[in-house]
Amino acid sequence: MTEYIFFSGKGGVGKTTMASATAIHYANEGRKVLIVTTDPASNLGDVFEQEIGHKITPIDGVQNLYAMEIEPDAATGEYKERIIGPFREIMPEDVIATLEEQFSSPCTTEIASFDRFIDFMEANEYEIVIFDTAPTGHTIRLLELPVDWSKHIEESAKGSGQTCLGPVQAIQESKEKYDRAMALLRNPDRTKFVFVMRPEELSLYETVRAMKELMAIEIMSGKIIINGILPKEVCDIDFFKKKYESQQKIIRKTDEMFNGSRRYMLLRDGEVKGINTLKSVAQELFNGGGVSFNVGLEAPSPEAFILEKPDIERLWFPRIETKAIFFTGKGGVGKTTISCIAALYLSRQGFKTLLVTTDPAAHIGQVLDVKVGSQPAEIARDLYAVMIDQEEAFKQYKEKILNEAKGKYSDDMLAAMEEELNSPCTEEMAAFDKFAQFIESKDYDVIVFDTAPTGHTLRLLDLPFDYAKQVEMMISTGADTDAKEVAQRRFKEMIRMLRDKSHTVFSLVLYPESTPITESYRAMLDLKKAGIETQVVVANMILPEEVCVNDFFKNRRKMQMKYLKEIKERFNLPVLQFPLMEAELKGLQRLGVAVQEILKV
């Protein structure tokens, strides 16, 4: 029977690398292996250095190995057509039009991707199926879906027979499918979960939190891989000795907390890309042993270049109306830390600043070292912070809708409305409603958004555009036209604000390596399709030249310089550079030091 292996963890910890190396290991043993990504910000093709896309593709140079990147838009189209297609020949056009409208819900993409994901769990064509899953917050949401949707379908069947995805009879077959998926996910003989983490406090915190959330839905996690460990022999100056000691402290803490299987993977002095390098990683992962570095073999230096520096005052300082600043990028590039530093910097300029996270794997509270709740709270002079809690937002959103509807509709209509609101996808709309309220707020001079990893961010920012179209369709039905027109005007104003470069600044955060650059470039193009222009690139974790005294770090810095040059050429935008700091930035005091050193307040 097919075995399933899930790789998960905080974004940027090396899940794709570890999953790909594992796939190569088993394929080289002669087992037929499929590796699938469900990450909307997938980089599987980049790691294997070949095009993969939304189809099962044999991997060049490795027998028995196949890969696929589940593309959300393609999955949605396939899902919609599978449900609606059989009805096209037998249903009137107006019924088909109604189905199409119901399947235009913003949550359809999420359930469609998961539906495709389950198909691989039910097939027996492969001996091992490896899932390179999305960053942890999104992964947990993904894995909770079959539980929520099974319950929602069952409850809808007892009620009006309607779900937010159309008539329940059209998707009734999905209930058994989702239940079977959960049974497989909960079977440790068939399914294993591997958590990848970095030897850092935030990464450990996220791993513990995600494991607890898995246990809450009766899924037991297995092996832990601690990736990116500094080799002791190259840490020969205080700067890296301190980072090495900090990492070792987290490793010891991890060993004390977990009794299960653990693997320790060293940081390499070059990028992990291509079949040969992945084979080397697989050897280290499964057989142990040392890693050969290119010590004594210095990488070639890139040609000299000059990066345009951003005008921070022009970009970030508010003029007449509230300024909204978004930081987005691949998970693990340091968006949370950068957004916290930016917010602290702005508050110290005397601007009343609100720091908001819309990331389901929020870490703002950990970085600030203060409790951040669902209501804005002052954490320092002129600095406020808030976390959009989906559960809390859902509760408030549902109450608001039902209270507004009371007295306008019959009891039957209210019951149907409440049933519709109980859909798990309503949580996402509720979170966006809260997000929109902060965007529209006039209570702050600046609002800094620590957004979710790239794929999820783009879906979040797509919502007002998709939802505006949905509102227009609802208006055409003639139901409560005044309310629909108010909603339409509100979302059109939201779109205007997001596209207004004087009101809203979009910043891409990355570190100078191939995969983050590729993903950020895709994100920039996707934003452009929505009429949004990116205005600045933040290059994070730049190795200071003065601390790179041996070949290992000289090679890593030269690699970074090569990619900084590529950033300049590909993005053609101002670049704000943030150096790698000696100590992990945690707490307002350390963040304040970073503000002094980096932004020269």
Report the alpha-carbon distance of residue 137 to residue 9 in Å, rounded: 9
- Cα first-last separation, the chain: 61
- Residues (pLDDT < 70) of the chain are 11, 40-42, 98, 101-102, 104-107, 110, 134-145, 147, 149, 153, 160, 162-173, 289-304, 359-362, 416, 419-420, 423-429, 452-484, 487-488, 597-601
Report the alpha-carbon distance of residue 160 to residue 173 in Å, rounded: 18
Yes or no: domain 317-390+443-598 corresponds to CATH 3.40.630.180: no
Quick one: pLDDT at residue 225?
96
DSSP bridge partners of 380: 383
Report the alpha-carbon distance of residue 582 to residue 600 in Å, rounded: 17
Report the alpha-carbon distance of residue 336 to residue 358 in Å, rounded: 11
Quick one: pLDDT at residue 575?
95
DSSP E strands in 444-492: the ranges are 446-453
Same fold, 3-287 and 317-390+443-598: yes
DSSP H or E stretch at residue 538? strand 534-542
Which of these CATH numbers, 3.90.1150.10, 3.40.50.410, 3.40.640.10, 3.40.50.300, describes 3-287? 3.40.50.300
Boundaries of every domain in the chain? 3-287, 317-390+443-598
Quick one: pLDDT at residue 540?
94
Quick one: pLDDT at residue 574?
95
Which residues, 6 or more positions from 221, have their beta carbon under 8 angstroms from its beta carbon? 193, 195, 210, 211, 214, 215, 260
**Sign of dihedral through CA atoms 462, 464, 422, 331?**
positive
Quick one: pLDDT at residue 601?
45
Quick one: pLDDT at residue 260?
84
Report the alpha-carbon distance of residue 27 to residue 126 in Å, rounded: 11
**Sign of dihedral through CA atoms 326, 332, 583, 271?**
negative
DSSP bridge partners of 368: none
Quick one: pLDDT at residue 17?
93
Quick one: pLDDT at residue 407?
81
Tokens 């870490």 appear where? 363
Quick one: pLDDT at residue 476?
47
Three-class SS of 328-352: EECCCCCHHHHHHHHHHHHHHCCCC
Q: What is the pTM of this model?
A: 0.80
Quick one: pLDDT at residue 295?
45
Quick one: pLDDT at residue 402?
84
Quick one: pLDDT at residue 477?
45
For residue 518, count CB atoms less than 10 angstroms from its CB and return exposed for 0-12, middle for 13-18, buried for 19 or more. Answer: middle
